[in-house]
Amino acid sequence: MNLKGYFDHNATTPLLAEAQATWSQAAEACWLNPSSPYRAAAQVHVQLEAARGAMAELLGLAPERLIFNSGATEGNNAVFAHWAKHLPQGSVVGVSPTEHPSVIEAAKHYFGDRVTWLPLDAQGAVAVGPLSELLKTGALAAVSVMAANNETGLLNPWAEIAQVCRREGRPFHCDASQWVGKMPLQGLGACDYLTGCAHKFGGPRGVGFLVLPATACGFSSAFGGAQEQGRRAGTEDVAGVMAMLEALKVTNGRHLSVAGRQQFINGLKAAIPNAQVVGDGAACLCNTVSVIMPSFASERWIRALEKRGFYVSAGSACSTGKEGASHVLAAMGVDSSAMRRVLRISSGYDAAVADWQALLVAICESHEVLRSDAADSGTQVISI
């Protein structure tokens, strides 16, 4: 695959060379079980704790709050399981309706009809004012809002929400999977619960992190061992953790280009005037564009672009193959017909303006081919 044409980084990122080198070295040098009683294993444990301290420092929090796990899906589920066990009986939790499926399904599983879907503003972000009023009335026992949306790239005001929740004495969980590695890490330690996964920022798959409040009591996401301070049983993936740390160090010093995305949007609007950018003008990740094409189903666009060496998606990779429309776009008021024509485009760190422009050319070429094929077959072309 030509990585220059890979525009699906919100689904997963290629392993950074630095992270791969770190993983290879750690896999050879730190393969012992860090919980074993002999000195050689104790040295591996020291390396693990050093990685915990370094990563905690990057995130701006105490190392004791940081747990290593398999990724954000595990972490998100663990948070809601913990809340279901420790919040007062009958508690209602507030959740953004545009969350990742691992948050929404966990909330439904553990709280059923005791989930309040938080109101959104006109751009699709969680509205702080109405949330604050809900908290003041005592209607919510806890709140979960993601930092950046995986489908649209829209940013939520998570720092303000964390502050409001703290003022009202309610725990706040933030899924930062799409934020970490793309946006500044400052302030994330203010979230009571924070989840993320390495493969979203150039680290290996199957490893991630969960941040707990310093006052969390009785938390355990898995039973059977005393690893991770007794909060997550299972032998730690030391090599994976060290590679994740290296990826975070590298990406924390990089800045994604804003110019490529904006020039792409401007060019797309000029070339295909009826194309609609979701959340256009709102605060958004500078690597992500969600666009409703004026005609043809998402799958046809994806296949046409793949033939030209470009790889995009129709939305969350975790929802691919599932019937039905995107719950994210539905919550934002997008109609079901338009949802079937959505493309999610998400670049990587090395994407230059020229790469975005090459994608634009490929989209324009694909548009002409799809229109020609439709004309030859006598199919009516939908236009919005």
51: its two tokens: 């990685």
Question: Percent of the chain beyond pLDDT 70?
Answer: 94
Output the pLDDT for position 33.
Answer: 81
Q: Is 213 exposed, middle or buried (0-12, 13-18, 19+ CB in 10 A)?
A: middle
295: its two tokens: 């005609």
> Distance between terminal CA atoms of the chain?
34
Note the pLDDT tens digit of each residue in 228-287.
776 776 778 999 999 999 999 999 977 777 889 999 999 999 999 999 999 999 999 999
Whether residue 97 is predicted with pLDDT greater than 80 in this model: the reply is yes
Output the pLDDT for position 260.
Answer: 92
pLDDT band at 64 (very low <50, low <70, confident <90, very high): very high
Q: What is the mean pLDDT of residues 322-326?
A: 62
pLDDT band at 376 (very low <50, low <70, confident <90, very high): low
Output the pLDDT for position 221.
Answer: 73
Whether residue 193 is predicted with pLDDT greater than 80 in this model: the reply is yes
Output the pLDDT for position 321.
Answer: 46
Bridge-based pairing state of the strands 172-175 and 208-211: unpaired
- Which residue type occupies 371? R
What's the gap between Cα 32 and its chain centre?
32
Q: Is the CB of residue 125 less than 8 Å from the CB of residue 155?
A: yes
Lowest mean pLDDT among 29-33, 58-62, 226-230: 226-230
More confident residue, 36 or 18: 18
Segments of 247-378 assigned E as strands: 276-277, 288-292, 342-346
More confident residue, 220 or 331: 331
pLDDT band at 316 (very low <50, low <70, confident <90, very high): low
pLDDT band at 380 (very low <50, low <70, confident <90, very high): low
Q: Is the CB of residue 124 less than 8 Å from the CB of residue 155?
A: no
Note the pLDDT tens digit of each residue in 98-148.
999 999 999 999 999 999 999 999 999 999 999 999 999 999 999 999 999
Output the pLDDT for position 218.
Answer: 76
pTM of the model: 0.93
- Domains recognised in the chain with CATH numbers: 3-12+255-377 (3.90.1150.10), 17-252 (3.40.640.10)
Q: Give Rg (Cα) of the chain.
A: 22
Output the pLDDT for position 227.
Answer: 76
Q: Is the CB of residue 163 less than 8 Å from the CB of residue 172?
A: no
Output the pLDDT for position 254.
Answer: 79
Nearest residue to 183 (alpha-carbon basis) of 201, 203, 162, 204: 201
Output the pLDDT for position 100.
Answer: 97
Q: Is 354 exposed, middle or buried (0-12, 13-18, 19+ CB in 10 A)?
A: exposed
Q: What is the mean pLDDT of residues 337-356?
A: 94
- Which residue type occupies 159? A
Output the pLDDT for position 255.
Answer: 73
Whether residue 320 is predicted with pLDDT greater than 60 in this model: the reply is no
HSE at residue 152, side-chain half, CA atoms within 13 A, is: 30
pLDDT band at 349 (very low <50, low <70, confident <90, very high): confident
Q: What is the mean pLDDT of residues 35-40?
A: 87
pLDDT band at 331 (very low <50, low <70, confident <90, very high): very high
Q: Is the CB of residue 241 less than 8 Å from the CB of residue 234?
A: no
HSE at residue 91, side-chain half, CA atoms within 13 A, is: 22
Q: Can you give the three-state secondary structure of 50-98, one letter per residue?
A: HHHHHHHHHHCCCHHHEEEECCHHHHHHHHHHHHHHHCCCCCCEEECCC
Output the pLDDT for position 324.
Answer: 52
d(CA 277, CA 256): 20
pLDDT band at 323 (very low <50, low <70, confident <90, very high): very low
